[in-house]
Structure 1
Amino acid sequence: MAASLLETIHLAHLPPSMPVHVAVYRDVQNAPFLRQQLLAANAEFEYAFIDASVVLSRTHLLSAVFRAVNDSMNGRLKSRNVHSEIVFSLNPTTNIAESFRKFGITDSTKDLLVVKVSVTPEITHDSVAAHLGQHVEGSPVPFDDETLAKIADVAKIKKAYKLGALNTAPPKQANGTQDDGMRRLELSVLGAIALRGAT
């Protein structure tokens, strides 16, 4: 069941041999177990486990993935591996511990984004789908903007990116596009990710 909802993505400007596998789960029952595997550095659980409530859109997540994989390929990792670097890349500051607190899985995470980069040929769509299907106790949902919009906690995202003053309320007129505010928020978030470490 979970296999069909795992999405395998080939990001532009990255080698075709390094696809990225992304899955989203709702109502996760075993977040403490998954987090424990990460803390124990269990190689079988080398994933980016991200609290989905702090991710606004596909573009938001994939920009962090691209940055992390690019840094990995160029020997610029600041954290343990490409998967921890994805979580770190979501953070607008260079504090690694804070990145995991704000964006990583916690014991109370209910909505989970899982990212796995094919850093070796053995990591395939089928192997990742089978492993996640076995170990993540949650309901798989599609990795799309519609799903992420239902899960995203806008107040939490604005706080994480220090964008409290940004107006994300939908416009009053019916003819205004409903997601104008969300688009502004997404652009601000992407800007914060891109600017980090650029100074």
Structure 2
Amino acid sequence: MDETCSIDDYTIKLDDLTGKQLSVHLFSNVQNIEEIHEKLMTKELACCIIKAQLVLDPFQIAVAANKAALNEKYKQLITRTLYTEVIYCLSTSKNISQSLTTFGISNEVKDIVVVQIYDTSEKKALEKLIDSVKGQRVPVSKLPEFSNVDLIKKTYKIDNEELKVSSLLDSVVSRISDKISK
């Protein structure tokens, strides 16, 4: 068995209405961000890539991905594609460009979260994705080591008073849910 298959990923079935499944992968020390960005723009890679420092837990992505998949199903995408919709749904901003800038990759980013959404009846194209990323594949369970809690609190406008009555993850998910339900 290929060693890369032993890495723990986060895979979850999305809302039954979508017929889709979500897989989340974590990579560190990525050396070819520009090349990956180009492959995303030309749709050579079917995924979205998010700065790992802004992801506290894969559940945060699952909430955004589920909403994006439902928006696609009901032809209510705010952005042009399912994957940009995931990034848009992660953000509290209503500005698409700002959402993509905040959560999407830039040349300085070295630690990334790769998100794939696919029909539950099909196999995901993981091999092509893994071959495209020149970096170390890391178990998703190590995501908290890459999260920047201060940046997450700033991005989602969460103060210490709120954290006295709620966990950071609950506050983040509440922000995502509040935005996407409007």
Name the TM tier (shorter chain). 0.7 to 0.9
Q: Counterpart of 1:174?
A: none
Q: Counterpart of 1:188?
A: 171
Q: Counterpart of 1:103?
A: 103
Kindly report which structure 2 residues correspond to 1:47-86, keeping only aligned pairs within 5 A, or say none. 47-86=47-86
Give TM-score scaled by structure 2 length: 0.87
Q: Which 4+ runs in 1 deviate beyond 2 A?
A: 1-17, 119-122, 165-168
Distance across 2 between alignment mates of 1:58 and 1:8: 7
SS in structure 1 opposite 2:134? coil
Q: Counterpart of 2:35?
A: 33
Distance across 1 between alignment mates of 2:108 and 2:26: 16
For residues 130 and 77 of structure 1, do their structure 2 counterparts lie closer, same or farther at Cα, with a shift above 3 Å needed? same
Q: Give the number of the structure whose alpha-carbon radius of gyration is greater.
A: 1
Shift of 1:149: 1.1
Shift of 1:88: 0.7
Q: Counterpart of 1:166?
A: 160
CA contact (8 A) 2:48 2:84 kept: yes
Aligned length: 180
Kindly report which structure 2 residues correspond to 1:71-150, keeping only aligned pairs within 5 A, or say none. 71-119=71-119, 124-125=123-124, 128-144=125-141, 147-150=142-145
CA contact (8 A) 1:3 1:130 kept: no
Gap regions ≥5 residues in structure 2: none
Q: Counterpart of 1:177?
A: none
Distance across 2 between alignment mates of 1:84 and 1:120: 20
Note the aligned Cα RMSD (angstroms). Answer: 2.4
CA contact (8 A) 1:52 1:111 kept: yes
CA contact (8 A) 1:47 1:83 kept: yes
Shift of 1:24: 0.7
Gap regions ≥5 residues in structure 1: 169-179
Distance across 1 between alignment mates of 2:24 and 2:180: 26
